[in-house]
Amino acid sequence: MFKQIELAYDFNALEPNIDAKTMEIHYGKHHATYTNNLNETLKNNAPEFLEKPIEEILKNINIEIKKGEFFSLLGPSGCGKTTLLRMIAGFIRPDKGSISINGEVIDHLNPNERNVNTVFQNYALFPNMTVFENVAFPLKIKKVAKEEIEKEVLKYLELVGLQEHKDKMPSSLSGGQKQRVSIARALISKPDVLLLDEPLSALDAKLRQKLLIELDNIHDEVGITFVFVTHDQEEALSVSDRIAVMNKGEVLQIGTPNEIYEMPANGFVADFIGETNFIEGKVTEVYDKYGYAENDEIGRFKIELDKPVKVGDNVKLTLRPEKIKVDTEPRYTDNDNYKVIKGTVDEVIYTGFQSKLFIKVDGVNRIINVYDQHREFLTDEELFEWKEKVYFYWHYEDAYLVEVN
């Protein structure tokens, strides 16, 4: 459980040597050959750098992560997600609040005293050790018996599918294989929590997708808590039990992938998680579970009251492109539950399973993004074309109210 963490530290000063320093904090000075090039000041005085107050980076963080959960910290670069991860690991200390795991406060513990391991985005493998030796290293530091080490290393190499590569050096491995070695090494000491700091960002798209599935399977197999940092929305939505969306040092929303996508807490979350159209207007009528708003671009439209509103309020709704239907003929024109708008296809992006349509609303300078799913076999003649006149429509319950002012 991690909750109420606030801090005021600038970590940028350590960035050039963070991986070597991290390894030293984790494993001590036994790997001197790996850290010979480490700046002596950082080696001897890292705590002074780590504790130098500069500015408030995280604000009013209060998160509880369930045991065994795959929990993602998602947000744009610079939002504070990696800083929060490093606080859990012990590389940065909070100036207020506390961090606890299984009910035990760990703020006072050094990184190597916490039962927490970290997987880094650039692997942090020992280049002078084989795959087997890299994975075995945490157990050797703990002076585990040789027979037990061999048994455990082979077990975790099998878990990540690298048992046949145990005698290879890191330099002969692909990026995906290196990351799997890093994961096996982090898991072998059976931590309470595994921290993953954008572990897939250095990989190409296909390999990233493959390793993401493997990572999810590994989590299911070992059953420990994973805290996964990413700026990639698809990654977070694909594997997470729950997601915390962050921006400018604050947690804006915590929820399941479906909750985050379908019911975003505000406009930022809606825009950051996938693509969307924002529909704004002024409320003109309010009833029990629905109301009406209007604007100069699309006129009067029905809204579901996902939040309390009153007549005169300005509202913003998020409308996902896949919720909108397109046709060459008008539909539901006499059904108040649908908003039907005439427009012209301004641009078409064909992606195989769907076409992304950018439709200009007739009479105004407004573009609506629509995903036209190709559920059936289509010829070129059946696809929507540039400058084609169309009607698009949505059911009022498919637009979610995100902001009221």
Q: Is residue 280 predicted with pLDDT exceeding 70? A: yes
Mean pLDDT of 165-185: 92
Q: Is 182 exposed, middle or buried (0-12, 13-18, 19+ CB in 10 A)?
A: buried
pLDDT in tens, 188-203: 999 999 999 988 887 7
DSSP 8-state assignment for residue 179 = H
Same domain, 267 and 293: no
Same domain, 22 and 114: yes
For residue 81, the domain's CATH number is 3.40.50.300
Same domain, 32 and 163: yes
Rounded Cα gap, residues 326 and 33, in angstroms? 63
Same domain, 295 and 307: yes
Q: Is residue 181 predicted with pLDDT exceeding 80? A: yes
What is the predicted pLDDT for the residue at 196?
93
Place 55 in a pLDDT band, splitting at 50, 70 and 90.
Answer: low
| Residues near 329 by beta carbon (within 8 Å), at least 6 away in sequence | 391
Same domain, 335 and 246: no
| Residues near 319 by beta carbon (within 8 Å), at least 6 away in sequence | 276, 277, 278, 279, 394, 398, 399, 400
What is the predicted pLDDT for the residue at 81?
94
pLDDT in tens, 292-347: 999 999 999 999 999 999 999 999 999 999 999 999 999 999 999 999 999 999 99
Q: Which domain holds residue 323?
A: 275-404
Per-residue CA distances from 380 to 66, 329, 354, 370, 374 (Å)? 50, 19, 13, 19, 12
Question: How many domains does the chain contain in total?
Answer: 2
> Among 271, 297, 318, which residue terminates a domain?
271
Rounded Cα gap, residues 87 and 81, in angstroms? 10
**Verdict on whether the full-model pTM lies above 0.75:** yes
Rounded Cα gap, residues 176 and 135, in angstroms? 15
Q: Is residue 211 predicted with pLDDT exceeding 90? A: no
